[in-house]
């Protein structure tokens, strides 16, 4: 019999500290660096901890079952609270915001939030690079309205083209055809180049690497192969399940010769490779075998408003408590500045048997 893991109620599941609020904060300058000189540039926001999939590597059914205590609605940041926090981060130099989850398209009226964030301007007066990561299940229905609301880019997760493999990985028997249909709907709505994320698990879906590359070559969409990561505490991660990106690239290169392409910007997570015949490009995200902590510019905001300065952080900083306690904009900016300037995380670089024992946050709570 499988042993059930019992979590305490969601609200108290993870440690959270009340951020320090400086007495007389300096005005934000539009650039903020951490203790290792890394600029604050990206903000990822988990808008819900719920999902209609149970991907085995993210929300395994044995843990996320019918008794699992998801967050109550009152714990979630409201859209107004999210907008306020985004504006505070933008004042410190954030230019890119990604909405994620859980499954972000399950959050009611998500288009309204997209519309609110599409109005925000960066320090240089430009609109935000506003993007969203989805499992694609509701995309056919929502692609048009998301585009109309001002979403600029879209990432769709898809782990296999083979229907049986895909159904086994999402573990709710969801058909692959519906996700492919969602990607088509997104293209028709004006999302020219969709990023397609495939988490590769050795022995589970690595036979799908070349078929995925073949399917999306020449479409303008970009498949990104992600090494299976040891996020959270429930996905039974083992190094043996990780297929290194080098091997992913070797397999594709054998079928369709590749050459390396330049990064689009410093801190880009995916390494870019283009097809020599001009049929587009693929990316690899090698968080396990080639950590990229050195220029990690990403802050993460959990569903209930806690700031995590690393995907593998054990504790968050409770920004929602500051908002709901009536903090003014200047002091909120000061609290964020204090947090980021203290940041020294580099979990993936020091991953070892020692760190495996650390308590880690679940991906669905903090966002990918």
Residues that bind ligand SAM (CB under 6 A): 51, 57-58, 100-101, 103, 133-135, 157, 197, 199, 226, 228-229, 231, 235, 363-364, 367-368
214 binds, among ligand SF4, ligand SAM, none (CB under 5 to 8 A by kind): none
53 in contact with ligand SF4 (CB under 6 A): yes
Tokens of 175: 């058909």
Reading the block at residue 282, the tokens are 């693929």
| Residue 110 is a binding residue for ligand SF4 (CB under 6 A) | no
Three-state DSSP at 149 gives: helix
Task: For ligand SAM, give the closer residue by CB, 243 or 307.
Answer: 243
Phi, psi for 213 (deg, rounded to 5): -60, -45
Q: Determine, following the binding rule CB under 6 A, whether residue 286 of this chain makes contact with ligand SF4.
A: no
Whole-number Cα distances in Å, 88 to 48, 76, 94, 301, 319: 21, 18, 9, 13, 11
**Stretch of 52-60, 121-129, 146-154, 329-337 contacting ligand SF4, by CB under 6 A:** 52-60
Closest CB to ligand SF4 among 319 and 348?
Answer: 348
Among ligand SAM, ligand SF4, none, partner that 47 touches (CB below 5 to 8 angstroms by kind): none
Q: Which span sits near ligand SF4 by CB under 6 A: 49-57, 88-96, 175-183, 324-332?
A: 49-57
The CA distance from 211 to 159, in Å, is 11
Q: Name which of 271, 273, 284, 275 is nearest 256 in CA terms.
A: 275
Which CB atom, from 22 or from 267, has the smaller least distance to ligand SAM? 267
Partnered with residue 368 across adjacent β-strands are none
* Of residues 165 and 253, the one with the C-beta less far from ligand SF4: 165
Distance between CA 196 and CA 156 in Å, rounded? 5
Task: State which of residues 45, 47, 58, 113 lies at the interface with ligand SF4 (CB under 6 A).
Answer: 58
Interface size with ligand SF4, residues (CB under 6 A): 24
H-helix or E-strand containing 134?
Answer: strand 129-134
Burial class (CB in 10 A: 0-12, 13-18, 19+), 272: middle
Applying CB under 6 A, among 34, 42, 103, 111 the residue interacting with ligand SF4 is 103
Question: Which has the closest alpha carbon to 23: 270, 368, 345, 331?
Answer: 331
Residues of span 296-325 touching ligand SF4 by CB under 6 A: 296, 298, 310-312
Which class for 66: exposed (0-12), middle (13-18), buried (19 or more C-beta within 10 A)? exposed
Residue 358 CB neighbour total at 10 angstroms: 13
Closest CB to ligand SF4 among residues 166, 275: 166
Is the CB of 250 or the CB of 342 nearer to ligand SF4? 342
CA distance 68 to 1: 19
Q: Which position among 43, 88, 364, 366 is part of the footprint of ligand SF4 (CB under 6 A)?
A: 364
Structure-token pair, residue 259: 């050459």
Please report, as ranges, the residues that interact with ligand SF4 according to CB under 6 A.
51, 53-55, 58-59, 101-103, 135, 157, 291-293, 296, 298, 310-312, 345-348, 364
């Amino acid at each position: 019999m499988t042993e059930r893991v019992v979590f305490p109620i969601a609200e108290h599941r993870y440690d959270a500290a009340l951020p320090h609020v400086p007495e007389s904060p300096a005005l934000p300058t539009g650039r903020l660096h951490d203790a290792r000189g890394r600029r604050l540039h990206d903000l990822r926001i988990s808008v819900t901890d719920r999902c209609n999939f149970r991907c085995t590597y993210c929300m395994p059914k044995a843990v996320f079952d019918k008794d699992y205590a998801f967050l109550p609605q009152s714990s979630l940041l409201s859209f107004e609270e999210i907008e306020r926090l985004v504006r505070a981060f933008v004042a410190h130099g954030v230019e890119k915001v990604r909405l994620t989850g859980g499954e972000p398209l399950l959050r009611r009226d998500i288009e309204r939030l997209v519309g609110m964030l599409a109005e925000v301007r960066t320090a240089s007066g430009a609109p935000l690079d506003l993007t969203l990561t989805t499992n694609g299940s509701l995309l056919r229905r929502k692609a048009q309205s998301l585009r109309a609301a001002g979403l600029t880019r879209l990432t769709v997760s898809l782990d296999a083209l083979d229907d049986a493999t895909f159904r086994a990985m999402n573990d709710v028997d969801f058909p692959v055809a519906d996700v492919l249909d969602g990607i088509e709907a997104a293209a028709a709505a004006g999302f020219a180049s969709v990023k397609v994320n495939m988490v590769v698990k050795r022995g589970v879906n690595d036979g799908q690497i070349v078929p995925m590359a073949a399917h999306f070559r020449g479409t303008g969409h970009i498949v990104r192969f992600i090494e299976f990561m040891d996020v959270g505490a429930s996905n039974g991660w083992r190094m043996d399940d990780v297929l290194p990106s080098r091997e992913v690239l070797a397999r594709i290169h054998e079928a369709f010769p590749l050459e390396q392409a330049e990064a689009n910007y410093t801190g880009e997570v995916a390494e870019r490779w283009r097809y020599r015949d001009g049929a587009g490009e693929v990316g690899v995200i090698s968080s396990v075998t080639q950590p990229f902590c050195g220029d990690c510019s990403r802050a993460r905001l959990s569903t209930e408003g806690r700031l995590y300065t690393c995907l593998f952080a054990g504790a968050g900083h409770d920004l929602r408590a500051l908002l709901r306690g009536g903090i003014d904009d200047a002091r909120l900016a000061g609290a964020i500045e204090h947090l980021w300037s203290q940041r020294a995380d580099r979990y993936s670089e020091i991953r070892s048997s020692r760190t495996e024992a650390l308590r880690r946050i679940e991906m669905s709570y903090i966002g990918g």
